[in-house]
Structures are given as structure tokens and as C-alpha cells.
Structure 1
């Protein structure tokens, strides 16, 4: 029985090559070696060959890139770009925005101040999205509606400010998006998972807890 439990744990946990701690896969990032001999992020953990796992945190990736961790993990010298942590963050951000786009195609995203306000008042929106460069005044007004929880009949909406207006506009295929509401539905969970991963990477462990 003990061997069976250990085997199951092996399938869902890996050891961070920097901290040497065993962690769940959703708290880690996998890296592989590309045909040019470079260490590259493998966010979906699908690339062939030996992999090196790191805690999903910018400071951990930066330490690994500078400290020869990849050479040791892959058991041979590999090229490691100084900008590796920036590359990881860019890929995590792109993944989250792609999932937001899928939620939009599923009809779960509402844009524009007035439409978002209506959803917050009446339709029980689960997530409120502000562009990082949105007007503080507009954000404050919608935040108050989010905190009110549709007159106290539901929990307050969560608020995310992870992307700027240009990024949100491209993801949603609409111009000048600064506020949006993400309603409940299938693709919502995948988007929140991707945002949590991005926030974990940026903050070194602070995770957005999706409802």
C-alpha cells in the first residue's frame, strides 16, 4: 500500500531543481532542451526528452538561469538566456489572454463600463477585469458595485488587473477595452487557472484563489 501511494504521488509531484522541495505540478514549471541546445519553458509539459522542474516563481527561474542549475539537471551543458524569466512571464501572460479570448468566444465576456455595471448589478458576474492602465475613477466605481455583491444576494465579484488595455483589446477583438466582466461558464475556470499561474510567477507564491 505504501508503494502504491508513493507511486501516485510521483505522478502529481516533482522536485524543484533549485529548492529541492517536492511540489504539486500546478506549482511548478517544466523546462526542456530545444534542438539548438537551449533551455526553454515547456508550459504544457509535453516536449520530449528530459525535463527540469522549477517552482513557478520569477526569482527561482532567475536563480536557475545564473547558477548552472540547468546544466546539472539536464546532465550536460545547455545554453541559458539571461532573459529566460522574461520569456516565461511573456508566455504565461499569452496563455492567460488566449484563455480569455476563448471565454469571450463562448459569450461569457461583457465589455464597456455601462454593460459591466449592469452585469455587476443584475447578472452575478464572477470576475471583474480592469485594464492595468484604466482610469482610477472608473475602476473605483465598478469596484464598489463588485463589493456590493448584487445588493448582498451573492458574494462580491473578484477583481483582476493583470493586463493593459491594448492586451485586453487584442484578446477580446474589440477596441479600447478597459473594463470587462467575465460571467460564469466552462472556459472561466481555465482562464482563472492561467491567471493564478501568472500571479504566482510574478509574486513568488501569491496565488489568486478561484471560486
Structure 2
């Protein structure tokens, strides 16, 4: 909105170009970087830091390509320094982002953990996202499924990482009911799965992403 409640003609663009691959993608499918002090590249996982944004597709191969081709310097239009272990830094930031949002969903009463609770939420039709630990038993995980063509399945977090969201040592199964937090968890999990090269947030008709 502009002054007097008049809507501005130009809205903020919802898409950006990846500096590595040239793809134009929704912001939710990209990772933003900015140039920090001493011309050091800083991952801006939440896309809120000031400065010119440099966007890279949320895929490990795209980030590796950006590093190899020195695309960050091209995007910044000046020489920059990359921190050691940038890929691991981005992955760790995305893990924190997903687990923090999942924790908020739990505190809001929108997320449950444990086989029986998850099964109950699926049976009542409340579950819009099913989370299963990447290192959990495949036999156990196969017993819980969302109905065909409904919801998203997330499997890019370890049992320990999921446990952080629920105040436990580990969690194998969790589920989310509808709400903005559920949507954001699924979006962030899709970005993390790209960095981990897993189908971490799958939905009907998609290999990874948002249902």
C-alpha cells in the first residue's frame, strides 16, 4: 500500500535469477547471499539482510557451480571473498530454519510427533505434511502414508534434527496440520533437500518442492 491506502502499481518481484544457472525461479526456490564486512559473502537464509541480493538456486550443484564460476563476484559487481565451507554453512543454516519453524508449529499446537499421534492425524484428515527421519527404519516409515494426491512428505531431516524441534533426543515421525507455518516448513524443507540432494519435500506430481 502507498500513502492514503492506495495500492502501489509495482509490487516487489516474487522471482529472481540464479547467478549460477541463469534460471528465473520463485524466491522460495532460491538462496539469497549478500556481501558483508570485508567483502565476505554471507548466506542470508531468511532473505532479510540489507544490501544487494545475490541469488542461487537451492540445489547443491547450483551452489557448487556458483563457487566454481566465481558467480558471486559477478553478482556483486566487485571482487568478493567466499568463506571456507560455504556449502556446509548454507546447509546448517537451512537445518536451523526448518527445525526452528517446526518448533514454532509444535508450540502453536500445529505439529505432533510419535507414530500413534501421527497416524491419528492422518486418519482424521488433518495432516497436510508428513515428516519422517531420513535415518529412520524404512519398515516403520512405510506404515505411515498420506492419502494419494494429498499433502507433502518431508524426509530431509535426521531423527536428531527432528528431535530438536520437539524437545526430544530423536523423533522419527511427525505431522503438521494446515496453516502458514506448515507451508513455510514445507518450503524450507524443499530448499534443504536441494542442498542435501534428497527428495526432502515431495507432493503430488512433483519430485521435490511444495505440494
Where on the TM-score scale, by shorter chain, does this alignment land: which range? 0.7 to 0.9
Structure 1 stretches lacking a partner, 5+ long: 1-6, 150-154
Question: What's 2:6 paired with?
Answer: none
Match of 1:171 among 159, 165, 168: 165
TM-score by length of 2: 0.79
More helix by share: 1
RMSD: 2.7
Residues 92-124 of structure 1 show CA distances to partners (whole Å, capped at 9, x for unaligned) of 121111111111001122222222222222353
3-state SS of the aligned residue for 2:156? strand
3-state SS of the aligned residue for 1:36? helix
Cα distance in 2 for residues equivalent to 1:125 and 1:73: 41
Structure 2 CA distance for partners of 1:68 and 1:185, relative to 1, 3 Å: closer
Question: Which protein has the larger Cα radius of gyration, Structure 1 or Structure 2?
Answer: 1
Alpha-carbon deviation of 1:91? 1.1
Structure 2 CA distance for partners of 1:60 and 1:184, relative to 1, 3 Å: same
TM-score by length of 1: 0.79
3-state SS of the aligned residue for 1:14? strand
Structure 2 CA distance for partners of 1:16 and 1:111, relative to 1, 3 Å: closer
Query: Would you say 1:96 and 2:104 are equivalent positions?
Result: no
Number of aligned residue pairs? 196
- Counterpart mapping for 1:38-117 below 5 A: 38-117=40-119
Q: Which moved more, 1:174-183 or 1:103-112?
A: 174-183
Cα distance in 2 for residues equivalent to 1:158 and 1:15: 26
Residues 65-113 of structure 1 show CA distances to partners (whole Å, capped at 9, x for unaligned) of 1222222222222111352122112211211111111110011222222
